[in-house]
Amino acid sequence: MADVLHRPPAEQSTAELVQQAGEQLSRLVRDELALARAELTEKGKHAGFGIGLFGGGGVVALYGLGTLIAAAVLLLGLAWPPWVAALVVALVLFVVAGGLALAGRRQVRQAAPPVPTAAADSVRADVTVVSAAMKRGRQQ
């Protein structure tokens, strides 16, 4: 085989050229897949690290929100007894949580049923068209 690679293409038979092309194509596909795998691995590492940083930022923000809520209780505690201030802030938080829960429930109901109805309708239409074409073909 090494002799074939050193001969000019004009001196090689068609079978030899087809065999070389197949081997080269196979090598090319393997190399491209290896490159894609390496690239996706590198991007996956960056994405994982980024997601970790994003999650860490979210946790710190949650602590910041808790501190802000405590500050609101302390501020209201200057005007009212501290237990009333804490109760008012808790009630406001529960009202906000209830509103968010209702909005989330509404969104979930709009998503139900979890069946791709548009895609299913499209497939049904395709089947109908193909069936009609096959019937016409048999009748001719």
Cα distance between the two ends of the chain: 56
Answering whether pTM is above 0.75, one says no
Q: What is the pLDDT of residue 21?
A: 86
Contact 77, 85 (CB under 8 A): yes
Report the pLDDT value the prediction gives residue 117, as an integer from 0 to 100.
73
Residue owning tokens 């049904």:
124
Rounded Cα–Cα distance for residues 29 and 98 (Å): 55
Does residue 2 carry a pLDDT above 70? no
Q: What is the pLDDT of residues 80-99, one digit of tens each?
A: 999 999 999 999 999 999 99
Asked if residue 100 has pLDDT above 80, the reply is yes
What is the pLDDT of the chain when averaged over all its residues? 89
